[in-house]
Structure 1
Amino acid sequence: MKQHPMQSKSNGWLSVILGPVLLLGVALATANLLSTYKGIHQQKQATIWSIIQLDRKIGGTLFDAQQHISGHQSAEFLRQSYQVLWNRFPVTVSSLQQDTIFKQVSGLSHSINTTLSHVESAEWLIIDSATIDTTRLNQWVNQLYGMKAQINEQVLDSVASMESEYSARAFSTILKNASILLILIFAFILYLINLLIELRKERKRNLYMLAHDTLTGLYSRAYIMTTLQSRCDNKTPFALLMLDLNKFKAINDTFGHHAGDQLLLHLADKFKQTLNKSGIVGRMGGDEFIWITESDNPEIIQQQYALFLDEL
């Protein structure tokens, strides 16, 4: 089925545009993958650092509370330590909210929020009271120890471990971006393969056009001359016959060039059916043809020519 010229032109433009678009897509997908990996890594490091800092502040407050309970530290010093811990929570929470992977893992934020609520509950005990009730303080401290352990075991270990849900989600995010990149690379490779195939086809078409006459499909003058030169160089036996049509110009003048072209096509078809089986026939121009035979035996040449005349 012949392709419509407009459709062929459209496909040509599409092919020209598709390559740069795919290459740009690969570049953007690569940049996005690297950016995603870097962002996740930085978020993870920032989250771990924030949790460690919070853990240290909790540990400091617990130590100061124990010191106060045992009578080795003043209430004012404990209040300062508690205030430092309380001020640390907004910084930690803000840092964790920027970690998109952390927010996706259930239970991690809950541990931080539970600890925050527990620390907040001691404000009336440590800050607002003139004297600190050591019995209640000791209960608060024991509960905070458990929450501190939970942050270390569940939150910090979950973020740092390579086998945790946090790492699995991070890997899934990176893999999703990598998949997009691989798809684009595969599409670009297919585009290059298709381009090479089309270039090869185009080369074959160009070589065919150079070797054949555009009207009759017989071999062209250039191909005939190259063949003659090759056979002479290789000293290959052959015979050369020149053929032409009598009164061809009169046919063109009387019936028009279209009729003349139809006559040439009919004659070329007969050449292909007969003379081409024992050599090659080419069109030198106009109504002039040349037959290069495979043999220089006059009897064989005469037999082949007789078959051609019979077909006419």
Structure 2
Amino acid sequence: MNQAKPFSVLVTGGAGYIGSHAVLALRDAGWPVAVIDNLVTGFRFAVPKGVPFYEGDIEDQALLARIFEEQGTGAIMHFAGSVVVPESVSDPLKYYHNNTVKSRALIEAAVKGGVKHFIFSSTAATYGIPDVEAVTEDTPQAPINPYGWSKLMTERMLADTAAAHDMNYCALRYFNVAGADPDGRTGQSTAGATHLIKVAVEAALGKRDHVAVFGTDYDTPDGTGVRDYIHVSDLANAHVLALEELVASPETSLTMNCGYGRGFSVLEVLDAVDRVTNRTIERRMEPRREGDPGSLISDPSRLKATLPWQPRHADLDTIIGHALQWERKLSEIRGQS
């Protein structure tokens, strides 16, 4: 039985993909939760019934102050932002506004409101193209696109703010997030999403006629890009455990990679989707995309050493199966709306 929690957690972007899973994980662990989301890319149906929901922007400090007071907010989990890497290259100011400027406003509101704990959705994109096989938190951060820079700037703001004010934080650097809630409560719902497993299950269900494979000449076993895929529910669980660690150690801030420490190539992922669905997806070979590293694999040692985190879904076929289950359900949801 869960003990009573000392405060409520505000989840920004809680109607989005990862944020909605964090809401479920917090609720499952007994934490009171509220959500703020402007619904530009989020979905109202992704927020569970009974969770206080505020449609608004994280730049609105008056709204944030009201939420903190109404909900008794003691921690923020910050997922709100823009996440499409190629778009960040073509529209950098959008990313510096949505991911950096708005994060600054949110952090300022947290300091003013006496919010003591801040968990930030960061990214492996802050490492750029690392020259190591497995990326540790000490691997040099050298972003190669505005998306990565916009997130790294927020990490810096949090570090400086925590040094100057009564706040601690955790920056979790995600590798490739995939899958969906095993109980079918939420999943990746964005139309036109660029995540490989999302795209592949859409193709398997006839929503796309092919999957593009960007680059077949990398220095990898089959020539295609290798990535470390982490199940979104395991990632959400890491956020809850990180929150509990921040509460237990208020003088300590944390930075941790979130991955499984194992990579799969694009072709291996597509073969797995074929296997799970018993269908064959059409693959179209395309040139490399500028700035894509050949391989990006995490070293999650610090995460496992710091938190009592044990992944429950670290199996590629399981990740794909949950994504497929959600994609079918999403068709039903959209058919009813």
User: Which structure features the higher share of helix residues?
Assistant: 1
**If the length of structure 1 is used for normalisation, what is the TM-score?**
0.20
Q: TM-score, normalised by structure 2?
A: 0.19
Which of the two has higher C-alpha Rg? 1
